[in-house]
A and B are shown apart, each in its own frame.
Chain A
C-alpha cells in the first residue's frame, strides 16, 4: 500500500513528500529527517532568504513611481486584485439585473420582441486574464504539437527529409516572437475577415505567434527520438510487413515517446514565455496585456501589481512544466514505473 502511494507521489512530481510519509510510518527516522532537510528544509530556507534579500534591496531603489515594492506590498496588491475581481462580479450581477428589467419592459411593450442574450460589458478581472492566457497558450501549443510531431516523425525516419528540414529549422528557431508578431498581425487581419467569427483576432495573433515559436523544440526532439530508435525494432516491423502507418503507431511513436514528451515540455515552456510578449502587443486580454496596461497606468500601485503578475507567470509556468512532467512519467516507460 505504502509503496503504491510513494510511487504515485513520485509519478506526480510530489516526491518531496515521500520522506514525510515514511517518517509517519516510522521507517529509519534519522535518514528520513536528513532527506526531509534536503527536499523540504533547504528550499524553504532559501525562499525565506530570498524574501529577506528582496525586501531589503527593494527599499533601496527609488523610482519615479515610488519605492520598488517589497514582498508585503506585493502580497497586499494581490489581495487588492482579488477584491477587484469580487467587485467586478458584483457589478456583473447588477448588470444582468438591469438587463432583466429592461427585457421585461421590452416584452411588456411588445410581446413578440426578440430577447437577446448579452455578455457583461465590464473589464476582465485579473483572474479572467489568467484564464485567457492559459487558453491562448494551450491553443497555440496544441497547434504547434499537431504540426511538430508529424514533421518530426517524417524527419526522423528519413535522412533526406531531415536534410531538407534542417536549414529551415535552424533559421527560424532563434527568431524572437516580437519579430513574428507584426507579420502575424497583418496576415491574420488580411485572412480572417469575418466580423462575427468564433475567435477574436487578437487571440489568433497571440496563439499563432506562440505556435511559431514553440514549434521547434518539439520538432527537433521528435526527430531526434525517432532517429535514435533501435534499428532492430524497425527491422522487426519490416519483417512483420506492417504498413507505413501501423509501423509508425505500433513501433515508432511508442519507442520515441520519452523524447517527444521532453520536446513538448520544452515547447510549452517556450510558448508560455512567448505568450506574455505577444499579448503585450497584440492586445489579447491576458497577463501580458495586464502587465503592459499597468506599466502605462504608471500609478503608485502599478509596480506592485506588475510584480504580482511576474510571480503569477512564474508559478503558472512552473505548474505547467510539472504537469507535462507528470504526463511524461505516466505515458512513458520511465524509471519511476
Chain B
C-alpha cells in the first residue's frame, strides 16, 4: 500500500512540476459569495489541489454579485464563483457589458424558496396534506389567493432574489408563473422588472436575506444555501420548495473568468479547471462521506462562516422544510454526479430563454442566435482538455467525461411539466402561458 501511495505522490509532484513550467500566472485571487456552492473552490484550496497544479490561490469573499463581477472585469480578481446568468448577461450587455467566459459548472440545484412565518400560516391550509404533513412539491397556486388578498388591500407583495441575472430570479419567477402569479417583465424603461407584476421582486445579497425578511421588507425569497436553512434555525421562515423540485438537476453556479484573462492564460485556466474537477469529484465521492469535512471548512469565518449545523442540514443529503420536517433530499447539492461540472451549451441556452421570457432580452431571437451566444461564453474545449489530462493521470476515469455534442437530452423534469430541448429554445418559450415569446 505504502509504496503505491508514495509513487502516486511522486507522480503528482512530477506532473505538477511539468505543468507548472508552462503556467502563465501562478498566483491567483478568486472571489466568491458566502454560499455553500462555493465548496469546489474551498476544497481545491484546502486539499491542496491548486498547489498540486502549481497554483497559489487566495480566496476572497465579496460584498455582492455586482462587486464580484466588476472586480473580475477590471482584473482585481482572476476569476470567481459566479451565477450562471452573469457571464451570459455580461456578454449580451444586460447590466455591465463585458466578455466573460466559463469552462466549469460548479454545481446542480442547491437553492430554495422560503416564505415568512406569517405567509406560511396563511398558505398552509391551502396546501394538500398527507399523513399530517404537507405534500411536496408545493405549487405557487397555494400562494396565489394570498397575493390577491394583498393586492385587494392595496398592499405590495414583495419578495427577494439575489441578482437580476441570478438563477434565483429565474427560479422564483418560474415557480410563481407556474402557479399563475405574474412576476413582472423587464422592459427598456423598467430595469427593475416590475411591469405587470403581481409580486414585486427586489435584489438583496444572499447573506442578508434572513435579516431583511425578519425586518418585514420582503415576505419571502429565493436564495442558495445556507440561507434557507438559516431561516428555519432562526425560526423566522419556512422553505416551501427547493429548486430540485422546480427543475430536477438544474445547473447553478459557474466558475467565470474574463475572456481576456482566458486568452492570456490558457494553461493556467486549464490547471484551475483540473483542480476544480478533482475537488468536485471529492465532494461527491464516498456517497457523501466527505461532506462533513467540507461543511467543517465551509463553516470557517473566512468562507461561508455560518454555523456548522446550518450548513450541514442541506449539504449532507437532507433538507428541513418546516421546523422538524426534515426530509431526505440526496440530490439537493450535486457537485459531480450527472456530469455536473461539464459546461453544457444547453444550460447556457436555458438561461437565455429565461432572459427572453422576462424581457431582459428585449427582442425575440432566432434559435441560431441562442446557439451563437452559448458558444461564445461556454468553453467545453478547456474543460475537455483538463478532464483528459486528469484521466491520463488516473485521477478520474474516462467514463466520467461525457461524450456529448454539448446539449443535454431534452427533459420535462419541470414543475410545470414543460419539455425543454436546448436545440429548440423558441419552441420552449412558446409553451409558456406567462412570458414573452
Query: Which residue numbers of A lie inside 8 Å of B, CB to CB?
Result: 64-65, 84, 98, 102, 105-106, 109-110, 113, 116, 118-119, 121-123, 189, 195, 200-202, 280-281, 283, 285, 292-302, 305
Contacts and interface: CB of A to CB of B under 8 A. Distances in A.
A64 B305 contact: no
Contacts of A283: 60, 62-63, 67, 71
Given A105-B17, A189-B74, A202-B76, A296 B61 contact: yes
A49 B358 CA distance: 59
A294 B307 CA distance: 12
The main secondary structure of chain B at its interface with chain A is: mixed
Contact of B301 (A110, A202, A285, A297): A297
B97 to A, nearest CB: 15
Interface in B344-400: none
Given A200-B76, A281-B63, A297-B34, A106 B20 contact: yes
B307 A300 contact: yes
A296 B34 contact: yes
Nearest to B307: A299
A299 B17 contact: no
Contacts of B306: 297-299
Given A65-B234, A119-B56, A299-B307, 16 more contacts: A98-B51, A102-B17, A109-B14, A113-B21, A116-B26, A121-B45, A189-B70, A283-B62, A285-B60, A293-B305, A295-B207, A296-B205, A296-B305, A297-B207, A298-B230, A299-B299
Contacts of A105: 13-14, 17
Nearest to B13: A105
Nearest to A119: B27
Given A202-B76, A296-B61, A123 B302 contact: yes
Given A118-B56, A121-B58, A299 B301 contact: yes
Interface stretch (B145-153, B208-216, B247-255): B208-216
Nearest to B308: A299
Contacts of B310: 299
Given A121-B56, A281-B63, A294-B305, A102 B16 contact: yes
Nearest to A195: B75
Nearest to A200: B76
B309 to A, nearest CB: 9
A246 B301 CA distance: 56
A297 B13 contact: no
Contacts of A298: 207, 210-211, 230, 305-306
B57 interface: yes
A285 B63 CA distance: 12
B304 interface: yes
Contact of A297 (B17, B54, B304): B304
B259 interface: no
Contacts of A110: 21
Contacts of B62: 283
